[in-house]
Amino acid sequence: MEHLFCQRSIIKMSHTNSKDDFRLPTFRVDSDGGLSPEALRSWQGAGCLVIENFCDEHARRELIWAADSIVAQFDMTDRDAIFSTQTHEHARNKYFETSGDKIRCFFEENALNQNGDLLVPKEQSINKIGHALHDLHPVFERFSYQPRIARLMQELGIDDPRLLQSMFIFKQPGIGGEVNWHQDGSFLYTSPPSVTGLWFALEDATLETGCLWALPGKHTRGLRSRFLRVNGELIMEDSLSPPNFDEDQGVPLEVPAGSLIIIHGALPHYSAPNRSQKSRYAYTLHAISGTAVYPEDNWLQRGQDLPLRRLTPISR
């Protein structure tokens, strides 16, 4: 049992998983992305922040249309795109390793049989698209570099914020895969730590469709592991602190379409499989500080042709 300071009240969090037992407070940003002092206090206490009505319906539809178009043009002969968050087998796959500066589609693990034949329609077979949508696709670029997001990063104190990674996550009906408990800083490590995740709900995210879960307040305990390249192989290197995530204290973050969830790089979070007949589309961005050191042994590397760009309004 523990308590979390928030704007409206002290929120009681228990280890039961009843969705009625706990809610993180929700906030709004002003028209240029500014946050209230209450929102900033909640962010500092919880390591995550739920902002309602960040994306309007037009923006959501445009992102979904753009993702659907990419899938429609995806060359289905590439069977190396199988993505598994359970085993990290994908890590040994060059298709994944070299996707940091490209737009690539990754299959749901259960979308193909052992021979690589599709078990579901093509448009329901993709787990995610990654990892440089924000720099290579005009629709995602326009959304990602909007002034409100730049201001938000400024409000959260990220020095010289740069967009490092983007993903469109489908969480397909019936086969949308689980994402194990993890900290984003394990995968996008910087020194000092700076990675911050932005998770935009393009559809309702519910317990039924596999919403995010998190451990509010546990972002202060450091990183449990690091995913890095050693002798040409990507491995997960564990540290002893913290030894576990206290996963039974997880809090579901059910949010309606249009919400934004901001996630501290050391906050443990997770999402369950989607066994429902609805999809649960989301778009995610990860920003880092341009003043932090980005190690050469991180999995995500970008070629010199695509340097990281500052998160400020772009002129057109």
Query: Does the protein bind Fe ion through residue 270 (CB under 5 A)?
Result: no
Structure tokens at 83: 């993505």
Query: Measured from the CB atom, is 74 or 153 closer to Fe ion?
Result: 153
CB of 231 to Fe ion, least distance (A): 26
Count of positions (residues) in the chain: 316
Strand pairing of 48-51 and 26-27?
parallel
Cα distance between residue 154 and residue 292, in whole Å: 15
Run of H or E including 234? strand 233-238
CB of 265 to Fe ion, least distance (A): 9
Within 10 A of 58 (CB to CB), how many other CB atoms are there? 8
Query: Measured from the CB atom, is 109 or 184 closer to Fe ion?
Result: 184
Cα distance between residue 303 and residue 306, in whole Å: 6
Query: Does the protein bind Fe ion through residue 212 (CB under 5 A)?
Result: no
Site for Fe ion in 169-198 (CB under 5 A): 184
CB of 124 to Fe ion, least distance (A): 23
CB of 184 to Fe ion, least distance (A): 5
Query: Measured from the CB atom, is 42 or 196 closer to Fe ion?
Result: 196
CB of 314 to Fe ion, least distance (A): 26
Query: Does the protein bind Fe ion through residue 108 (CB under 5 A)?
Result: no
Size of the site for Fe ion (CB under 5 A): 1
Cα distance between residue 173 and residue 121, in whole Å: 11
CB of 213 to Fe ion, least distance (A): 11
N-term to C-term CA, the chain? 51
| Residue whose C-beta lies closest to Fe ion | 184
Query: Which x/- pattern, by CB under 5 A, does the window 134-173 give for Fe ion?
Result: ----------------------------------------
Helix (H, G, I), strand (E, B) or coil at 125: coil
Cα distance between residue 303 and residue 91, in whole Å: 19
Write out the residues near Fe ion by the rule CB under 5 A.
184
